[in-house]
Amino acid sequence: MAAYSQISTTRPARSLSTIPPSQEETPLTQTTQRILVTGACGQIGSELIPVLRQRYGDTNVVATDIRPPEADCLKDQGPFELLNVCDRARMDDIIARYAIDTVYHMAAILSATGEENPTLAWDVNILGLVNVLEIARQRKLVRVFCPSSIAVFGPDTPHDCAPQTTILTPTTMYGVTKVTGELLGEYYVHRFGLDIRGVRYPGIISSETLPGGGTTDYAVDIFYHALKYKSYSCFVRSDTVLPMMYMPDCVKATMDLMDADFNSLRSHCNFNLAGMSFSVEELANEIQKHIPDFVCDYAPDFRQAIADSWPQTIDDSPARTQWGWRPRHDLKSMTRDMLEKLRPRLT
């Protein structure tokens, strides 16, 4: 999800539609959705958008972010708009002009960055979400995806097999905003009848986009350092265990939840999502099977306390039973695939 900084916005170069959604065919009967993705330049957004465009067509998926894109798949293969999600008027204008019926709201300030600037984290994560939800209510959008995170958990949460419904006492502003976001989403479902959906992402590991400002960033950084330098200094202890997920599973889970029959969902905005859990030492050992001279040392910083407040494993049985979630990757297959994809670029 995208890190935030303030930049000016520009008017779009083109518009796919100027007809308000209310005057068009009811979106539920359309074979092709018109989708807006916020935080498009972030770790998840940048890999979700190509999949959405492949399914729905390049021109039907509008990518937005507060900064211009660097990836060709965002710049050249479909519409892109500059958007500060705190600017409701700008967001509403884009949604109206492109006749959007579905929003994937991926923009957020993550855990470590949020601790450095908690006020900004609150503004972006909550005001941005409220803007999406209010526009969805007013324009009767078909569906909204607003992800949460394992950061909703805290020291009072069971650390082993943390259930979906449990005590939520986050210790970070990011976690506070995600608990608030889950409650807001459920409120809009029950109060206004909107279709709002979300999962609690674990740490996400990707070979394509570097993370930005999260506590689980080490699980990506370690691969880059292993290939380039044969060494890595990790900012959490060797025995730190956290839930993780490989990006292909992350994108699949997002799409699967959005495809699910609404009537089959007994939850909406707070699905636990598990892929794999491992310690940093276990990850380092798996990398050493492919790079024998790789060494990892440890210099824990303020992120250790954040990691210690989160569960080591989580129970995602509601996602498995209600919409058929199943991860495809484990530590072994993820490590092998990451190294295969990164090696040509880094060596």
Q: Return the active site residues.
A: 174
DSSP H helices, 98-149, are 111-116, 118-122, 128-139
Dist CA 75 CA 58 (whole Å): 11
Give the DSSP letter string of 231-298: EEEESS-TT-EEEEEEHHHHHHHHHHHHHS-GGG-S--S-EE---EEEEHHHHHHHHHTTSTT-EEEE
Give the DSSP letter string of 189-227: HHHH---EE-EEE-EEE-SSS---S-TTTHHHHHHHHHH
Q: Count other Cβ atoms within 10 Å, centred on residue 248.
A: 19
Closest CA to 61 of 86, 42, 38: 38
Question: Under DSSP, is residue 155 helix (H, G, I), strand (E, B) or coil?
Answer: coil
Pairing of strands 102-105, 35-38: parallel
